[in-house]
């Protein structure tokens, strides 16, 4: 995945494009997207080194999700299936979980509210409780 380099090509006063003053650098390139999937065994978290020597936790597979309720309490529920992923229809077919995806859990329907590629945790808000 590459990052758009808005500062390399510039415009002249006439509106014509100037030539980029240098090429892209390796440090400016992005990383491969984390494709979090539903697991049958447990959670699989990968540690990635980022610029500056720090680390990010990237969630590759997850069996459960932290569910936040409107009254303020949080519980952990098991993921049963991926219902929909509005960000990309292909992700819904492939079973890839991203922020905004809708999951069916043991406690009801939830919407994912965390970024698993950066946090390493799968958090969601309850939409419809199971009766």
- Given a cut of 70, whether residue 3 has pLDDT beyond it is no
Asked if 11 and 17 count as a contact pair (C-beta separation under 8 A), the reply is yes
Of the given ranges (3-12, 18-27, 103-112), which has the lowest mean pLDDT? 3-12
Confidence band for 101, pLDDT divided at 50, 70 and 90 = very high
The mean pLDDT of 41-66, rounded to a whole number, is 91
Position 25 scores a pLDDT of: 82
Is residue 124 within 8 Å of 74, Cβ to Cβ?
A: no
What residues does each domain of the chain span? 33-129
Average pLDDT of the residues in 30-36:
85
Per-residue pLDDT, 24: 80
The secondary structure of 27-65 as a DSSP string is GG---PPP-BEE-SS--EEEEEE-TTS-EEEEEEEESEE
CATH of domain 33-129: 3.10.290.70
What is the share, in percent, of the chain residues with pLDDT greater than 70? 92
Total-model pTM: 0.78
79 dihedral zone (left: phi>0; alpha: psi -120 to 50; beta): beta
pLDDT at 2: 56
Question: C-alpha distances in angstroms, 66 versus 20, 28, 46, 56?
Answer: 46, 34, 19, 19
Phi/psi region, residue 100 (left: phi>0; alpha: psi -120 to 50; beta: rest), is left
Between 86 and 7, residue with greater pLDDT:
86
The answer to whether the CB of 113 falls within 8 A of the CB of 119 is no
Distance of CA 10 to the CA centre of its chain: 32
């Amino acid at each position: 995945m590459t990052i758009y380099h808005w500062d390399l090509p510039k415009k002249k006063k006439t509106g014509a494009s100037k030539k980029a003053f240098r090429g892209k650098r390796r440090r400016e390139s992005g990383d491969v997207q984390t494709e979090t999937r539903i697991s049958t065994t447990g959670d699989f978290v990968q540690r990635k080194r980022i610029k500056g020597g720090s680390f990010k936790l990237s969630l590759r597979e997850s069996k459960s999700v932290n569910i936040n309720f409107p009254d303020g309490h949080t519980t952990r529920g098991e993921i049963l299936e991926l219902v929909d992923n509005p960000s990309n229809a292909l992700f819904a077919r492939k079973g890839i979980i991203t922020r905004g995806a809708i999951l069916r859990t043991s406690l009801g329907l939830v919407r994912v509210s965390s970024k698993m590629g950066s946090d390493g945790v799968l958090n969601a808000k309850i939409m419809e409780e199971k009766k």
